[in-house]
Amino acid sequence: MPRTDAEISAKDLQQRLAFFELGEEDASRLAQLWDVVQGAHADSIDRFYAHVGAFAETGAYLHDWQQLQRLRKAQQRYAAELFCAPIDATYVENRLRIGTVHHQIGLEPHWYLAACSKLLGVVMDSLDPLLEHDPRFFSEAIRATVKRLLFDISLAMNAYVSADRKALSQTNQSLRESQALQMSQLSRIEQLALYDDLTGLPNRANFYANLERQIADAASSGRVFSVLFIDLDEFKDINDTKGHSMGDAVLVELGRRLRDHLRQDELVARLGGDEFVVLAAGADAASARAIALRLAEAVARPMTMGGNVLSLKASIGVSVYPGDGASSELLVRNADTAMYAAKRARQSVCTYQPEMSTRLVRRVQMADRLEHALRDGSLSLYYQPQVSLADGRLLGAEALLRWNDAVLGQVSPDEFIPLAEHRGLIGPLGQWVVKTACHRLRAWDALGLRLPGRLAINLSPRQFDDAELAARLITQVRQAGLQPHRFDLELTESGLMADPETSMATLRQLKTAGFSLSLDDFGVGYSSLAHLKGFPLDRLKLDRAFVRSMLEHRNDYAIVVATIAMARSLELDLIAEGVESPAQAATLLELGCRFAQGFHFDAALPADQFMARWLRAPASA
């Protein structure tokens, strides 16, 4: 078992036991309970792991039958320790190590707490015979069991916090040991990546980190809190009629108003576009509605922009923990659902009600349709050129997945890719993309129209959950009659950093086979950029969000300059995404970026249009 850096002194242990009111009488009751519990413990363990295995987030750790048996034995040991072992330094050290193990395998705290809750439930079920036989002892026994289990959970949370602090300390140390210029560039990028570059508000990753902490705190304290989802009505009209610069100015002013009208224990963040969220600690439904009305009033005040007086209106949806969801995803989704209900009803504020969840029906329908799409021809690949900024020569292309369903119509990848990841369809979907891309390259080759450079294919972070990913990709490409050096694989920071050791092994296999490796959407991730130096990458892709606003916003320009310098210092190629104007292209070239893609050169095109516009037969000798 790995060493833990978490420590509990003897004085701290005694204070904690006193606070929990765990004493000799509790130890005596627990020891008596063990005679009752152990008789039904085997069945309790079976029920516990059946429940754990039913959820993708926890079932992923039950790899095979042997693993399950090892966990069952460990659970049996823990049950005996829970009821019979004294709480001494050895016991505390063991519980801290167990918490460290759960942190290292990536089990998030809310899932750990949920598993402990289930464990408590099955233990209590085994005590039911005591209820009729000796109700008073049953009550005292239950109280002792809960206190002891919560005490153990507190030790595990100590281990989580200690491990996070150690990781942060190691990251900071790594940054300090880097070269002065590179360290400065890293710290600037990481700092900016936690906040929205346009409004200066916390961004999506920052918000979700705060939301997860709020959930953990509320789960342990029993307090409520609310999530407010804010969306501007008809904001698209401003962009379409006044231009994106005006739209950006409106979002900046909106972010300022929201921030200025917050109170203590309220946090506002920008998720993207014209979507903002507020996290209101301690707010029940009534309090959250009052907060929403206050913010709606602030948004509605006339706004003067460039000689134009704009009247804006926001629709706000509210969800309340825990009644409207116990996970970050569900709370935000239900607040989003309530926001759309407010839009439909032309109201400023709506609080979530279960009947609003018609969007869930669409998700279920979409999941069913997506399985059919893998077979019915409604999926297709579009191809966007990647060019040299110096002379506009074609240097490669990126394959982009599109879905035009007969029932649902055109479905955005931002909608169906996360669904495919959630429903376990991302593996088959990824294989379809590779198969189709190989077929297209072979078809162009047969016509004498060989694509210069490499064809880029995106990999989902969830595909790295497949231990056979590298072998599967290599085999699929070679069976198609092609070689891996014809392809570039685009990865994300979250995909690499979820399990760095496994990711490193997979990437080395792919690199050795001949694939080139690119880090996509560089600059918007939340992982330690210092760690990325260890991965065998060939190039970085600068996210379009920075390129689009680099000429108007100083922070974006600074990120672009720092990223170009970073790529140069790491000896990586850099390709800028989302180049939409000659001025952007010229500035990028002047700053030292050599490669780009975006609407300035061409949109993503169906295969036949891409072939007609960009592919040429080699000149005759």
Structure tokens at 285: 């439904």
pLDDT digits (tens, 9 = 90+) for 297-317: 999 998 887 777 888 889 999
Q: Is residue 187 part of a domain?
A: no
Residue-by-residue DSSP string for 45-73: HHHHHHHHHTSHHHHTT--SHHHHHHHHH
Q: What pLDDT, on the 0 to 100 scale, is given for residue 388?
A: 95
Q: Quick one: 263 and 309 in the same domain? A: yes
Q: Quick one: 573 and 461 in the same domain? A: yes
Q: Is residue 209 part of a domain?
A: yes
pLDDT digits (tens, 9 = 90+) for 315-333: 999 999 999 998 999 999 9
Q: Quick one: 334 and 464 in the same domain? A: no
Structure tokens at 538: 């060939």
Q: Is residue 101 part of a domain?
A: yes
Q: Quick one: 317 and 410 in the same domain? A: no
Residue pointed to by tokens 């990120």: 559
Which candidate, 246, 244, 234, places its Cα nearest to that of 307? 246
Q: How confident is the model over 446-467, as a mean pLDDT? A: 91
Residue-by-residue DSSP string for 569-611: HTT-EEEE----SHHHHHHHHHHT--EE-STTT---EEHHHHH
Residue pointed to by tokens 């917050």: 262
Q: Which of 171, 194, 215 is the last residue of a domain?
A: 171
Q: Which residue has the higher pLDDT, 550 or 70?
A: 550
Q: Quick one: 223 and 348 in the same domain? A: yes
**Contact call for residues 279 and 294 (beta carbons, < 8 A):** no
Q: How confident is the model over 89-104, as a mean pLDDT? A: 79
Q: Which residue has the higher pLDDT, 616 or 60?
A: 616
Q: Quick one: 23 and 94 in the same domain? A: yes
pLDDT digits (tens, 9 = 90+) for 64-90: 667 667 777 777 787 778 778 888 888
Structure tokens at 103: 């942190």
Q: How confident is the model over 563-584, as a mean pLDDT? A: 91
Which candidate, 461, 261, 226, places its Cα nearest to that of 352? 226
Q: What pLDDT, on the 0 to 100 scale, is given for residue 496?
A: 73
Q: Is residue 109 part of a domain?
A: yes
Minimum mean pLDDT among 50-59, 111-120, 288-297: which range?
A: 50-59
213-220 long-range contacts (CB < 8 A, ≥24 apart) are 214/279, 214/281, 214/321, 215/110, 215/321, 215/326, 215/327, 215/328, 215/331, 216/109, 216/110, 216/113, 216/157, 218/321, 218/322, 219/110, 219/113, 219/322, 219/326, 220/113
Q: What pLDDT, on the 0 to 100 scale, is given for residue 493?
A: 74
Name the residue range of residue 167's domain.
Answer: 10-171
Q: Is residue 181 part of a domain?
A: no
DSSP run (H or E) holding 385: strand 379-388
Q: Is residue 412 part of a domain?
A: yes
Q: Is the link from the previous residue into 322 a cis peptide, with omega within 30 of 0?
A: yes
HSE at residue 17, side-chain half, CA atoms within 13 A, is 18
**Contact call for residues 402 and 381 (beta carbons, < 8 A):** yes
Does residue 306 come out as left (phi exceeding 0), alpha (psi in the -120 to 50 range) or beta?
A: left
Most confident of 164-173, 220-229, 419-428, 564-573: 220-229
d(CA 201, CA 555): 13
Q: Quick one: 162 and 278 in the same domain? A: no
- pTM over the 0.85 mark: no
Q: Quick one: 499 and 554 in the same domain? A: yes
How far is residue 194 from each of residues 141, 250, 478, 486, 529, measured CA to CA in Å? Answer: 47, 21, 41, 35, 13
Q: Is residue 199 part of a domain?
A: no
d(CA 126, CA 305): 67
Task: Give the domain CATH number at 316.
Answer: 3.30.70.270
Q: Quick one: 374 and 340 in the same domain? A: no
Residue pointed to by tokens 């014209």: 274
13 exposure class (CB count in 10 Å sphere: 0-12, 13-18, 19+): middle
State the average pLDDT for the chain: 84
Task: Give the domain CATH number at 489.
Answer: 3.20.20.450
Q: Which of 328, 352, 376 is the last residue of a domain?
A: 352
Q: Quick one: 245 and 154 in the same domain? A: no
pLDDT digits (tens, 9 = 90+) for 216-268: 999 989 899 999 999 988 787 777 667 788 888 899 999 999 999 988 889 99
Task: Give the phi and the psi of residue 326 in degrees, each rounded to 5.
Answer: -110, 5
| Sign, Cα dihedral of 584, 586, 588, 594 | positive
Within 10 A of 526 (CB to CB), how many other CB atoms are there? 17
Q: Is residue 2 part of a domain?
A: no
Within 10 A of 303 (CB to CB), how many other CB atoms are there? 16
Q: Which residue has the higher pLDDT, 72 or 531?
A: 72
How far is residue 452 from each of residues 108, 229, 449, 524, 614, measured CA to CA in Å? Answer: 44, 46, 9, 29, 10
Q: Give the total number of structural domains in the chain.
A: 3
Roughly how many angstroms between the first and final C-alpha of the chain, as a whole number?
Answer: 67
Q: What pLDDT, on the 0 to 100 scale, is given for residue 527?
A: 39
Q: Quick one: 298 and 385 in the same domain? A: no
Q: Quick one: 602 and 479 in the same domain? A: yes
Q: Which of 149, 171, 193 is the last residue of a domain?
A: 171
Residue 436 has pLDDT above 70, yes or no: yes
**Contact call for residues 319 and 285 (beta carbons, < 8 A):** no
Q: What pLDDT, on the 0 to 100 scale, is given for residue 184?
A: 61
